[in-house]
Amino acid sequence: MISSITEAPERAPSWFGMLRRRVLSLLAVILAAVVLALPAQGADVLRLYSGQSPLGDVPAEKRGNNVFVSAGEIVKLLGMQASSKNDTLVVSSGKEKLQLVADAAAAWLGVELVPLAASTVQVKGEWLVEMRSALKLFNALLQRSGKNGSLRWGPGGVLPLPAPPPSSPAPSPTPLPAVVPDPPKPVSTVPEGPIINGLRWGIDDGKIRAVIDFEGPGKPEVKQEAGAVKTTFFLGKGGSPDISSPYGEVKVSSINYGNRIALEFASSLPLKEIIPLESPNRLVIDFSRSGSSAALKETKLPKPAAVPTTPAPPSPRTRKGAKIVVIDAGHGGKDPGAVSNGIREKDVNLAISLLIAKKLKKAGYDARLTRDRDVYLTLQKRTELANNWNADVFMSIHANALPPGRHATGMEIYLMALPTDKDAMQLALIENREIAEGNGETAKAADKKTKMLLNILGNMQQNAKINESTGFAEYLFKYGKAGGIKMRRVAQAPFFVLRGAAMPAVLIETGFLTEKSEARLLNDKKYQDKIAESMTRGIVDYLKNI
């Protein structure tokens, strides 16, 4: 008995210990499962919704005054395809494409440039986009590919951990603002200003009339700048209306800012008057065809006017007389351009430009040269001439060059836009350094301006001409290839010489002077004529088909 009594107390603790261990093990398994089901402790994420359905959490981080989200994670959640090359991320949804460019405050959506709230960031293979801009881009991409574009940020993401107390030696990274995970306001807010319904046209012997129909509170703000009329409206449920002009004398461009659209009417014709009318609301802009230089009049009170009640019948996009083509021979005077293998770029540019102009005139076109001899012109002056002449197309002729150790041959055609790749950006930097010469600045200052231009591309008149410039470039590429010229590519880069051109504009790099064989060709009169013939055919065919 004594023996059994002394053994009982020893077995009791052992039984309780086993039970305790099993309970603790079970709790540990449950806790581990819960922990694994949650995002990493302290991670900053936002939850992405499609309508009312949560899609998943997207990594996010605070940078300056903006919150950036992972574009790669959004792509995964939406089941899209993406590929990254150098400083460009291409996202595909069906046949539609979105291109994000590192350090650029604009993105490609098809052939349209879309301004962003902040520059895209590329960090160790991760692409970060400002959270509001991300919604705008991916919703638009979904809609263009025929899918439901109702993405939004909503509640459910992991809130950042509280900041450590002041005594902590190593503070945690800046957390997202607590307001971010809250449900956002509905996207479809009621505009607080005039909503554009459409644009229609009228014409008679004395004037061309543009009529903008609108509704809603307030009146549109109208500005007159350097022969152009600018006005801004809110967009209705129907989105952007057709703003194409049926008359070559008046050109219209547009830039979209979220739920707003800015219109710019530009013409070589004198601006006669701007008339705001009521019942129904409309804004009438008259351009005089009589050639009078009467000053612009603004009438604030409604008055009767013979405004067409139906859209005017379309007419060919032509002006009286031949279409105007402006050929710009790059560099010149004190600026020789690239010099290699004993050949100066400015000489090759001028020779080819003169030949193109001669052939165009023979074909019945009004070909004009920004320079017809060895003189220096600033980059700004070149496009100013094209705009003042109300040109139908603008072409700037150049020759290419590469640093020692690098080799390439063939013609390249560039349009004014975000760079296709680092080579295109580097070429733009080199070409744009000409502005340093004209303004007494350093090459470093010119490079800074080029990068600034890259950041404001989404806010430029040229934005409205990208589609047309792309078409123009494709015609030139086609005829260059048919003419037996080695065509390398059509690409995009921010060239100052194309900035602000109010017409389709391209920059031609005819070949590489740094390649001995191609330098000899570019200096040969027969090959220069071959280039001029091919480019002329491309210009003529393009102008016949627009």
Chain segment 421-464, per-residue pLDDT in tens: 455 555 555 555 554 554 455 656 655 555 544 543 443 344 44
| Range(s) of the chain covered by CATH 2.60.40.3470 | 195-298
- Residue 483 in 3-state DSSP? coil
- What's the rounded Cα separation, in Å, for the pair 546 and 543? 6
The CA R_g of the chain, rounded to the nearest whole Å, is 31
Q: Say how far apart CA 507 and CA 386 lie, in whole Å.
A: 14
Q: How far is 452 from 105, CA to CA, in rounded Å?
A: 10
State residue 465's pLDDT score: 62
**Superfamily of domain covering 45-154:** Copper amine oxidase-like, N-terminal domain (3.30.457.10)
Longest dimension (CA), the chain: 130
Q: Return the exposure string of 4-41: e unless at least 16 CB atoms fall within 10 Å of the residue's CB, then b.
A: eeeeeeeeeeeeeeeeeeeeeeeeeeeeeeeeeeeeee
How many angstroms separate the CA atoms of 105 and 434, rounded?
24
Q: Give pLDDT, residue 278.
A: 83
SS (H, E, C) 270-286: CEEEEEEECCCCEEEEE
Cα–Cα dist 140/418, whole Å: 19
Q: Do the beta carbons of residue 237 and residue 262 sit within 8 Å? A: no
Dihedral sign for Cα 504, 86, 149, 115, please. negative
- Cα–Cα distance between 345 and 329 in angstroms, integer? 10
ω into residue 280 within 30 of 0, thus cis?
Answer: yes
Position 18 scores a pLDDT of 60
The alpha carbon dihedral of 347, 353, 356, 362 has a sign of negative
Every domain range in the chain assigned CATH 3.40.630.40? 324-544
Q: Quote the CA–CA distance of 191 and 173 in Å, as a whole number.
A: 38
- Beta-strand relationship, 297-298 and 282-288: unpaired
| pLDDT for residue 33 | 47
CA distance 332 to 397: 12
CA angle 158, 160, 162 (to 5 degrees): 140
Spatial CB neighbours of 54, under 8 Å, sequence gap ≥ 6: 47, 48, 154, 156
End-to-end CA distance of the chain: 113
DSSP designation for 392? S
Is the Cα torsion angle 306, 307, 309, 313 positive or negative in sign?
A: positive
Q: Reduced to 3 DSSP states, what percent helix, strand and coil does the chain have, rounded to the nearest 5?
A: 30, 30, 40
436 to 441, 443, 448: CA distances (angstroms): 4, 6, 11
The per-residue b/e assignment along 368-397, b for 16 or more CB within 10 angstroms, e otherwise, is: bbbbeeeeebbbeebbbbbbebbbbbbbbb
DSSP string, 344-389: EHHHHHHHHHHHHHHHHHHTT-EEEES-SSS----HHHHHHHHHHT
* Residues 54, 59, 62: CA angle, nearest 5 degrees: 120
Number of Cβ within 10 Å of residue 296's Cβ equals: 13
Give the CATH architecture of domain 324-544: 3-Layer(aba) Sandwich (3.40)
The CA distance from 211 to 249, in Å, is: 16
Backbone angles phi, psi at 135, to 5 degrees: -60, -45
Fold for the domain defined by 195-298: Immunoglobulin-like (2.60.40)
8 Å CB contact between 115 and 102: no
Q: pLDDT at position 78, please? A: 93
Two tokens at 102?
Answer: 């590192």
Is the CB of residue 402 less than 8 Å from the CB of residue 516?
no
The tokens for 174 are 């800046």
Token digits for 224?
A: 């007159």
What pLDDT, on the 0 to 100 scale, is given for residue 57?
93
Q: Which residues of 115-147 are buried (b: 16+ CB within 10 A; e: fewer)?
A: bbebbbbbeeeebbbbbbbbbbbbbbbbebeeb
**CATH 3.30.457.10 occupies which residues in the chain?**
45-154
Could you report the average pLDDT of every consecutive run of 10 residues in the chain (546 residues)?
37 52 56 44 75 90 86 94 86 89 74 69 89 89 86 67 40 43 43 83 81 88 82 79 80 73 86 85 86 37 33 39 92 90 94 97 96 88 86 92 85 69 55 53 58 45 60 90 91 61 85 93 96 96 90
Helix (H, G, I), strand (E, B) or coil at 405: coil
Structural contact between residues 53 and 35, judged by C-beta atoms closer than 8 angstroms: no
